[in-house]
């Protein structure tokens, strides 16, 4: 079932996307699908960050040391999660730039298509599965 974005371009469903022939790889509709997906992810992450700020500001200090230690641990964990999300936002922005430059969906190392299934699973992917595996093997060797 197709939906529409703010600019009224139809957005394919995941099944419609996967049903397209290989010759249609990274056509306008597919790029719109991934742009919409990435925009949604980015908005959700920014909303999470805002809720963390609000939560941290609303937290009241407690005189009990155990409660204070628990609060501090919760804050550290929350900040660690937000830091990871901040890094993901950077990757999302990079992916959106690749869509704008018409390089999205192609492996940065080989230039080959990354593949729709991989991009659905990991929309910020920059390497094909083969190149990612090669990269990880090389990384393990040089540790």
Mean pLDDT of the chain, nearest integer: 87
Give the tokens for residue 75: 């804050």
Output the domain CATH number for residue 129: 1.20.120.910
Question: Quick one: pLDDT at residue 133?
Answer: 93
Domain that holds residue 82: 3-141
pLDDT at 94 over 90: yes
Nearest CA to 119 out of 138, 91, 82 is that of 91
CB 99 within 8 A of CB 35: yes
pLDDT in tens, 28-62: 999 999 999 999 999 999 988 777 777 666 667 67
The number of folded domains in the chain is 1
* 42-50: Cβ within 8 A, 24+ apart: 42/89, 42/92, 42/93, 42/96, 45/85, 45/88, 45/89, 45/92, 46/89, 48/82, 48/85, 49/82, 49/85, 49/86
Question: Quick one: pLDDT at residue 142?
Answer: 86
3 state DSSP class of 127: coil
Question: Quick one: pLDDT at residue 38?
Answer: 97
> Residue with structure tokens 């249609």?
24
Question: Quick one: pLDDT at residue 29?
Answer: 94
pLDDT in tens, 122-143: 999 999 999 999 999 998 888 7
């Amino acid at each position: 079932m197709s939906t529409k974005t703010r600019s009224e371009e139809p957005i394919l469903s995941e099944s419609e996307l996967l049903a397209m022939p290989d010759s249609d790889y990274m056509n306008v509709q597919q790029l719109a699908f991934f742009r919409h997906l990435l925009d949604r992810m980015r908005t959700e992450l920014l909303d999470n960050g805002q809720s963390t700020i609000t939560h941290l500001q609303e937290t009241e200090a407690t005189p009990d040391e155990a409660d204070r230690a628990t609060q501090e641990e919760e804050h550290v964990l929350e900040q660690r999660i937000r830091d990871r999300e901040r890094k993901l936002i950077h990757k999302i922005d990079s992916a959106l730039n690749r869509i704008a430059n018409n390089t999205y969906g192609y492996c940065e190392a080989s230039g080959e298509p990354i593949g729709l299934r991989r991009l659905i699973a990991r929309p910020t992917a920059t390497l094909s599965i083969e190149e990612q595996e090669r990269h990880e093997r090389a990384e393990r060797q040089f540790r």
